[in-house]
Structures are given as C-alpha cells and as structure tokens.
Structure 1
C-alpha cells in the first residue's frame, strides 16, 4: 500500500530497569557501566531528587552520557540495526534537543550510510536552526506552525495579521529544502487534540486542516482528527481510535480526504508553490493566501469569524472552486462563518 514506517526512539535516556542502569544500582561504583550515565554520587538515591541526571527529574528515566564511547557505540548500533535489518524509513527522535550535536552528526552519518533516503526527524519545540544545517536532521516537528495555527483558528488568541506574520516567519526561518519536509501538525500525543483546543467547533477544525493541507511541508494528521476525535491533555489525547463508522464524523472524514486528494493532484498546493499572504484583515479576521508555481495559481480563503463574509481576490479572472467543483466568473468568494475554500485560477 506504499505505507512507510518511522520508529519513535529515545536516545536521550534509558529506563530504570535497563541492563546498564540496573547493574549500577546493584554494584554501585564497581559497575562497569558507571560512565554510561551522569552520576554525581553513590549509592544512587531517587528521593527527594535523584542524584543523577534524568529526563524531567523523573528517577525512572536516567540520562545517557552520549559523550561516552561505549554509549555512542551502543546507541549507533541501534540506529543502524533497524534501518539495515528491518528497512525502516525514518527515525523520530524524542527530546532531541537534550542530546549533544556531535552525537547527532554521527547518528546521521551511520543512518544515511545504510539508506540515504532515511527521514531523520527531531522533536524540538523551539527554534531549530542548529539542527537543520544539513549535518544532523532532515526536519523537525514544526511547533511554530502548530502554535500559529492553533492561536488563530482554535484559540482566538491572535488576529489575521499576526497569523500571516507568524506563518511567514515559519517559512523564512528555514531553507526551502527544509520547509518542504518539515513535519507540520495541529496536534499530537503530547498535546490536547485540535478539536478540543477549538472548543469542539468542527468548523474551526476544518479551518485548521485546510491551513495545514495547503501549506508547504509534510502534513501530519494525528489519528482520529479526521473523524472528529476529541481529547484533553494526556491521557485524553491518547484515547483509542473509534473504528465503528457510526461513532465517526463521516462528513469531516470526507472533507479531510478531499483536501488530501487535492494536495496530491495539485502540486502547487503542496511543495511546488511559492506562498504569500495577499490579504489579512483583523476586523473581519479573514485571510487570503496565494500559492503560485509554473504549474498553476491558487488562492486559499479563510473566514475565521462568526459572520459570513465576501472576499475579493487581488486580481481579475475566472476560477474553479476546488472544494465545490464549481466554475466562477470571478475570483471573489462568499464564505459562511468559520469556513474556507480553494480557488484555482483558470
């Protein structure tokens, strides 16, 4: 079916019962693994705080010393093994910003030697330039995109001009090759679901999906968002997928599939087109985004308000509304509250 597999891995820390850490707990300073972690004293204690470095001060997650040659050899063997033996297509690297750059450079070299097309994705929540210079990751989880989209469409924290500025900042923060593969998301296992963030307003969720599926990068749909699954912070955001069609929003599912089909059919809506914001009105909370390439010209319209609006494109011409498959004599559109559309210029 053309499905690719990406493993989610933690190279930052081990578990409490990992063989190396268990050996240290048993043998203390005599353990041959004592240099594998950042230990400050013996014996090891967990209360009131651990006397060794951990992830998020959680005693059960001791942090690896990735400067240690034995640790590096051990972890890089893992990195190579799953690509070489099982042919996985990518690595998603948990808390990647807490591992040193030298290790990630070696990691990339090892993985790309086996398969140059392996997708290396880092989980980093802040500015990621240091990891995206071509010697470490191919992409990162694009939380600046996530925050900009949620703040405007779901949370009503920002206005149209701020959204346009924030998205422009996302684009100009990276080189074009990075923008084309950046992992764009509106929700994940670490955050409340997009529908919940949008106050269970499915029209707002549709706007979020429209913004993500017409933007440059690799759009990522968290399972269940396409059928209206809600959920607050963990564990709510990790609830099981309802497979009974009667428990799914089939209209939302069809809408999401339609957007995906359009993205595949019209490459300008994906990574072939240049993005610019040609309209951003704070009073009406409306946006017009233009996507342009030698293959075509498109306008994406957003009405993030509770009132119907009419939007005027910055040029004359005829168009095809791709969501309704209707021809238009002009490029102007009328949108109900909390809705959007895509018009191809003919």
Structure 2
C-alpha cells in the first residue's frame, strides 16, 4: 500500500488538483474474507499497529514535503463490529468485547436493548447495518474523551495532519442537543491542537445550523453543488438509482436551486466547501453521463458493471468539471476521475486506478482546467451571479474580483447554440473586450483565440454541443468605476410597514420589503432592534416580518437598523445603503 500511495502522490503532482479523495489506507473488514489471519495480525498486534501509525505519519510528511495537505477521514458516529470495543467476530483474545460480555469495559460504548449475553445481538446499529454498531457517546464519558484524544492527536505536533472529514456527522449522538455540544467540544479540541486544521462534515440537506463558527468549518457540498449539477447535466440521482427527465437541462430550476442552496451556506464555508462530482459512496459522474439507471442494484443489490462506461459522454463530464473548477468552492477530485474511471455505486465506484490505460485527452483536460482555476483569482474567492438561464440546457454565470471579470457558459444540448450574455451585470461597458480563454466539447479542449466586444451590455457567444466556453476580461479600469456600475444592481429596501416615528400597536409585526430575494441568515443577524426584544422572522418572497414573541413593550420607543452587510441571493451583493428609523408603541 505504501508504494501505491507514493506512486499516486507523484501522479497527483502532475494533475495538481486542490483536494483529492482516496480510498482507505488502513485495514478494513472486507479483508477478513480474503485472509483472516493476516487481517487479525494487522489489527490486533500492538507492535504492528504502532508500525502502521508510524507509516501513516511518514506518508503525511512526504505529502507535506510536496506542499500537499492531508485531511483524515473520521468515522466517529459508529465503529465496525470487528472493533475490539464490540468484537462481534471474536478477533481479540482476552479483550472482553461488549458483544461477548455484560461485564466488558466497553459495554457503555453501545446501546443494548436486551440482556442476552454472551453474543448479544441487540446492540443499536447505524441504519440497521449490524456491521456498523452506533457509538453511545451520551452513555460514556470515557468514549467521548477517547475520540477527542484521537481528533487532537492526529492534527497536533508530531503528526500535523491538516484536518478531518467527518463521516455522517449529523447522525452522531442520540439527540440534536448532544450532537451540537459534541461538535463544539470537538472543534475546540482540534483547533487547540492545530488552529489551521480544517473540519469538513458529511451531511445531506441544510447544514447551516452547524456552520456557526463553533462546530464545523464547511461541508461536502451535496446540497449546493453535487446534486444540482448531476440533475441538470444528466438527470441522474447520485447513485444512478433513478432519472429525473424533468430536471435534466431545466436551466431555470438549476439556477434557482444553486441560488437558494448557496444562500444557506455562510460565505467562507461556501468558498471552502468540497465541490465533488462523485465519491466512494455514489456512482461515478462519468457513468451518470450514460443515462443508464441501475435498477437491478437498487432492487436486488446486483449491478451490471459492464454498463458503467457504455455510451458515456465526455462532453457532459467536461461540463461538470468546468462547473467544479469555476463555481464557488474547493474542487474535490475523486481518484481516477482524471483517467476516466467509470463505476456504479459502492463498491463498483472503488475500481482500481488504470495505470497505463488512462484517457490521455481527459488527463490533459484536467491539467488545463485546474491550471485555469489556480491562475485566475476570481475563481477562488470572487463574487458570483447567474447571467443566463432562459433556454433549455443553456446556463451562464459570472465571477469577479479586483483583478478579473469572467463569464462561464454551458451548452448541454446536442447542437451548437448562440446566445447573448448580459455582462453589464458584471460592471462591463460597451466596447469592453472579453477573451475566449478555454473551450471544451465532446472530443477536445482548446485555448480560445477570439475576442468578443461588449455591445449594448451583452456579449454574443457561440457554444459547441455538449460544450463550454470560459471568457475573461481583465479589470483595467479603476475599481471604484466598477463598483459604481455594480451599485445599480445592489439590493434595495423598497418599503417598510412602519414610518419613521410612527406609533404602532403592541401586537403589530414589523415588515420590510426588498426589491429581490435576500440571504435569510444575513437578515436575521443584520436586522438589529434596540432595545433588544425576542422575536421570530418569517418570509414571504422578498418580504420579511419580525414579530415579538411577547409583543412590543407598551409606551416604549424602538430603534431599527438594517445594516449594509445584508446580501442578496443573486450575486451576494450587499445592500445599497443601510436603513435606520425609530417607532413608538402606543399606551
């Protein structure tokens, strides 16, 4: 395994990506069926375990020598049934696992519903998988401390791993309250050992409740990248279990989905979120481009691996990778994507790397697009707004910062298309020039040669079938001039339910209307009332209402501030100006 990893390390350097996911490098239960004696030796012998730890430390050091960071995978919600704490398989002589004995020192690490020792099968398992016994953190302070020591030890001095990716992090514990409490303690432990260590979490759905600066740093971006991209470009569910033809090429739904899901992530978390197209748990994206629904797997746990690369569409794959390298977030590459490795969902998605049989055109494409991501700062920390989503299978967005304005255009149709992109939304003026810097289609990827001139606020772009174009305009005018242009599209407050110095009733709500959709999290923190009063926010499109829980205080005067930090969903532009006013409550 050491030599394979080192070989892949130098392959990684030729690809020069941002984040790369590899399969486990430690022992796992699947090895038991292949060679039980070897597996038991690897996982029970103290000397061997110490040697394994030292080897991983050595590998981390080798990666650091090449300026590559290593984020470890932490599975803390559950253990394996073969772990010595439970030892269902009876691998650990003399360890007295909780499965075997009621008097085990690890009994409280798990929840048992019946008193049926020895060989107690009534332990709680994650989603019913008996090989994955759920850990009982609330029942054992010793378990909690053990995991926290692991978390801090591997990122601390002497090892210096660069962070943790937390498996099924929202499931840990037996209550939401404990879950949040644990991740707060976990964060303090990790950051105390290495303040630069990053904490990523695997979670499906809204993760904003954990991204408060006290728990996780960011997430595996299923909600605001993985799933919207897959449905728009292929119509396929992430496991290839079903297809949604109503979502494929549905540009308006795609734009809405991206906008609303991105708005739920704090901006720093969005910029660092793991933007991945696939991973070990799901079918590979290149397989989803075939449109083949793996019905047999979803119904009877049998798949047809020979279908995984039949009729694959490399043009669609390249579209997805261009999204990955240009949308806000940290591009995260699953090993083998760059070589064209196909595969249905786990375990078929874990095929071996095809040494000597890589798709070289795809390899060169990955090198190019990763270089573009790194070269242009607007793709790393620039602002973003959608520019075009009117037509089926056509979409465009812009990214900009103090150095560059970029336009990225996608055509997911089987014929060439020509559209006009409103670059005035990026602060561009007539006669400004956009250069075509990169073009992809099914069969090729090339550096663009044409220059496009802005006319009446638009640039006219022709995009090949199943293709993309990246346009770039250097910022060659003073930034205040660009800011002046952007001011025209900043969100504005168009109405309030209360006039300045007006007197209202104790049970009235305070309503503010914006001229566009706003990031709700920003409004909840940037809508300040003095003196403070407990209340709830409710939304109806562009209108937000604040209603005090116990009503306004009779005879009191209140001051309201809506600060400029409140941002729009489209483009994440701040308010054009803050709003202050006072009002009174009647006697």
Deviation at 1:334, TM superposition (A): 1.1
Identify which range, 14-23 or 183-192, moves more after superposition. 14-23
Q: CA deviation at 1:333?
A: 1.9
Structure 1 residues 54-63 or 190-199, which shifts more?
Answer: 54-63
SS at match of 2:98: helix
In 2, Cα distance between equivalents of 1:178 and 1:52: 36
Shift of residue 345, structure 1, vs aligned partner: 2.0
Q: Which residue of 1 aligns with 2:219?
A: 140
Find the partner of 1:312 among 400, 416, 420: 420
Q: Deviations over 1:23-77 (max 9, x none)?
A: 222322x223221111112225989xx4221112122221111122111011111
How far apart are the structure 2 equivalents of 1:335 and 1:325?
12
Distance 1:35 1:329, change over 3 A: closer
Task: Tell me if 1:21 matches 2:93.
Answer: no
CA contact (8 A) 1:46 1:59 kept: no
Residue aligned with 1:21, SS: coil
In structure 2, how many angstroms separate the alpha carbons of the residues matched to 1:297 and 1:11? 43
Runs of 4+ in structure 1 off by over 6 angstroms are none
Cα distance in structure 2, aligned partners of 1:235 and 1:36: 29
Contact 1:35 1:65 in 2 (8 A): yes
Q: Structure with the greater relative contact order (CA < 8 A, sep ≥ 6): 1 or 2?
A: 1
Aligned 1:1-346 pairs, distance under 5 A:
1-22=66-87, 23-28=97-102, 30-43=103-116, 50-67=121-138, 68-84=140-156, 85-99=158-172, 100-144=179-223, 145-155=225-235, 157-158=247-248, 159-199=250-290, 200-244=312-356, 247-271=357-381, 273-283=382-392, 285-315=393-423, 316=430, 317-323=432-438, 324-330=447-453, 331-346=459-474
Gaps of at least 5 residues in structure 1 are none
CA distance in 2: counterparts of 1:181 and 1:41, whole angstroms = 45
Cα deviation code 1:156-191 (max 9, x no counterpart): 533111111111122211111111111111100100
- Aligned-pair distance for 1:14? 1.6
Q: What number of residue pairs does the alignment pair up?
A: 339
- Work out whether residues 44 and 51 of structure 1, in 8 Å CA contact, stay in contact via their aligned partners in 2: no
TM-score of the aligned structures, taking structure 1 as reference length: 0.93
Give the root-mean-square deviation of aligned CA atoms.
1.7
Q: Is the alpha carbon distance of 1:202 and 1:19 closer, same or farther for their aligned partners in structure 2, counting shifts above 3 Å?
A: same
Aligned-partner Cα distance in 2 for 1:51–1:290: 55
- TM-score norm. by structure 2 comes to 0.56
